[in-house]
Chain A
Amino acid sequence: MAEDLTSYVLLPMRGLRVDKSIASASLSTLFHSLHAGVKKVNLKSLTQPGGAIAALKNLALPTLRIPGSTVEAAAGLVMRCLDAVSENGAKLVELSEEAAQALRRAQPGMRLAPVLYYRTADSPVPRVEVKAQSAAAGASVKVKITVLSKDLKSPLAGLRIVAFTDFASRSGDEAITNAKGEARFESLKTGTKVERLYIEPPAAGYHGGFRKGVTLKADNQIFLGPIDFATADGLRHYYGEKTKDSDGEGVKIAVIDTGIDGSHPDLDVKAGACTVTGEDPEDWGPRGGAHGTHVAGIIGARGKMKGVAPASEILSYRVFRAQPGAASANFAISKAIDHAVQSGCHLINLSLKYDSGPGEPPLIDEVIRAALEDAREQGVVVIAATGNDGRQRVSFPALDAAAIAVSALGRKGTYPTDSQGGGEEMGPYAKDKKTFVAAFSNVGPEVDVIAPGVAIISTVPGGYAPMNGTSMATPAVTGLAARLLSRNPSVRDMAADSMRTDAVTRLVLASCQSLGFKAQFQGDGIPL
């Protein structure tokens, strides 16, 4: 049978060789059974009773469930071993995406790293990125766009408007609205056809805007609608009805981000730390922007808005400087991970990523990787965002095997069609024709799960606001993990070591339901 196979390097979670004293028996057996020349290894033995399930039973986790479909699906999957470092060392293997997912599910204590290829450092021919300018025709005049609130008809100031005349080449113009809500463009003139128009949402209270195929007049008006809790957003569509007030009870979560507004009426965040070098270690508030407060609300809001795990205990670790937009250093992030582990956290949410330059291989940051490995060994599960570069490769740290990598989905009907959610609609679509993989989401073989990340309404300093991003999908999974832990205290209360990490990871992956997307988009599916 012809199969679409991908090459990977199979490694233990730490180092190049399996250490029998710390690895599970099934992982050790797997490594010793693979050597070059073995053409096929049936993964059935890892996912059927007698394999991984038996291993799970040994952990005495009576509430853990593995869907029957998972076992059946894995029955026909094969893996080829092409080369090996040694009997217990790294293996070069070839397997399908489905087989890779099945193997990850069965053996969370190993890594499947992509095989990377390098080029000689010569200079390629330069490529044109932006088309040449040409003069506008006739007696055209510059255009103005005024942004007003739909309910109060009042001007909305300080909003960035991005107008693409050619979206593929990212050509166009940008402007910011003034106190009258007016944005004047330097280069857009009457009669210009704008392919896509994006209006960023205000700091709180309103959706952003999105229009397609607009021909500009001299004076244009756009109204932004207020957010409305009567309509379920993507988060509440998938998680709202099943939420219990006790979800997350006894579960401690670190949000490593821009800081959290502990005074928000829907949040109960009493502790944390700032790990930015040179800043006050006690100042874990939202100094780096609203992002961390939004993330925290998705996990644990307990007021007008409800998060996925409202009873969870959230700790705020601010790793971004008190200057919105500034980058965060890996030292600050690793220090926050260390603190979170020492504080007894079960879960760490990392809605951040490293920006590799165009054409650069993905970064492997040994500092954060070491912190993730230490966290894993001490029972802490890290959940990370794949990044928002528009179907590019999964970013670090999500691409590290020690993290659960989260891509983002959107669902039509969970946001106004002319809001910013509309700009993220892109195939593939699920069978229901409404659910799609968000246009911004990074994807690839490292994706473990998918969750709602388009037009998600959550807490921000001063109220509520919608945000897009894998940053929003990630806390949905963190919240769900907390929910599962509170409903499975036998796992939550395990000793804080790598056995607990594996058990929590299995719990999350076993809760996934496929939406019908390929594994590179959804991993195992959406955890529910």
Chain B
Amino acid sequence: MASHSDGKPPRLIVRYRGKGVAPLQEAQAEIAKRGLQVVDRSSRMLLLEESGKISSAESLKSALPEWSVSEEIHYTLPDPTPRVKGPGKGISRDNP
């Protein structure tokens, strides 16, 4: 299930979709204008968090046309164990 960590606003991921080396510094300049903070990076991506100022994924998209802007989401390990959803017919659960 997608989960935004601890009820905080979702973090944004911007990823370079153009050819060649990603122009990270240019992107960071646009990001800084919008009050977003870079909290992690790779060669083609930046992870952004709001720092209390105005944030706007849409304006970032138009300012950085060669970059994709998406919310951070979370993945799990596939768990094969069947889980109980609740007590069934013929079962009584003692009330406290």
Contacts and interface: CB of A to CB of B under 8 A. Distances in A.
Interface string B79-96: 111111111111111100
Nearest to A472: B80
Contacts of A189: 91-92
B94 A165 contact: no
Interface in B34-83: 39-40, 42-45, 47, 68, 70, 72-83
A318 interface: no
Contacts of A370: 15, 17, 68
A4 B47 CA distance: 46
Contacts of B85: 129-130, 169-171
B77 A351 contact: yes
B90 A136 contact: yes
A188 B3 contact: no
Interface of A: 129-136, 160, 162-167, 169-174, 186-189, 192-193, 196, 198, 200, 257-258, 275, 277-278, 289, 291, 320, 327-331, 333-335, 338-339, 342, 351-357, 363, 365-367, 370-371, 374, 385, 387-390, 395, 423-424, 438, 440, 468-471
Nearest to B11: A331
B29 interface: no
Contact of B88 (A172, A342, A352, A468): A172
A331 B91 contact: no
A351 B15 CA distance: 23
A183 to B, nearest CB: 13
A198 B84 CA distance: 11
A374 B44 contact: yes
A327 B90 contact: no
Interface string B1-21: 111000000010101010000
B88 A131 contact: yes
Contact of B78 (A166, A192, A353): A353
Contact of A171 (B11, B40, B81, B91): B91
Contacts of A188: 91
Interface of B: 1-3, 11, 13, 15, 17, 39-40, 42-45, 47, 68, 70, 72-94
Nearest to A191: B90
Nearest to A135: B92
Contact of A351 (B3, B13, B78): B78
B73 A338 contact: no
Nearest to B88: A171
A354 to B, nearest CB: 5
A352 B42 contact: no
B18 to A, nearest CB: 11
Contacts of B81: 160, 162, 198, 200, 468
B82 A173 contact: no
Contacts of A352: 75-78
B82 A162 contact: yes
B87 A173 contact: yes
Nearest 4 pairs of A and B residues by beta carbon: A171-B88, A327-B74, A130-B86, A440-B80
A187 to B, nearest CB: 4
Given A131-B88, A135-B92, A374-B44, A329 B78 contact: no
B90 A328 contact: no
A289 B1 CA distance: 20
Contact of A334 (B13, B17, B83, B93): B13
B89 A291 contact: no
17 contacts: A130-B86, A133-B87, A133-B89, A133-B93, A134-B92, A136-B92, A165-B91, A171-B86, A171-B91, A187-B92, A189-B92, A198-B81, A278-B39, A335-B40, A338-B43, A353-B76, A357-B1
Contacts of A136: 90-92
Nearest to A396: B75
Contact of A328 (B17, B70, B75): B75
Contacts of B88: 130-131, 164-166, 169, 171-172
B73 to A, nearest CB: 5
A471 B75 CA distance: 13
A338 B82 contact: no
B80 A330 contact: no
B73 A329 contact: yes
Given A130-B87, A365-B73, A390-B82, 6 more contacts: A136-B92, A171-B91, A172-B91, A329-B73, A339-B42, A366-B68
Nearest to B14: A367
**Most B C-beta atoms less than 10 A away, residue of A136, A171, A357, A468:** A171
A198 B89 contact: no
Contacts of A440: 80
Contacts of A374: 44
A134 B89 contact: yes
A330 B84 contact: no
B70 A367 contact: yes
A349 to B, nearest CB: 13
Contact of B3 (A257, A327, A385, A438): A327
A70 B42 CA distance: 42
A170 B83 contact: yes
A186 B95 CA distance: 10
Nearest to B79: A388
A333 B77 CA distance: 12
Contacts of B2: 354, 363
A334 B17 CA distance: 13
Given A136-B91, A171-B86, A277 B47 contact: yes
Nearest to A336: B42
B94 to A, nearest CB: 7
A316 B85 CA distance: 35
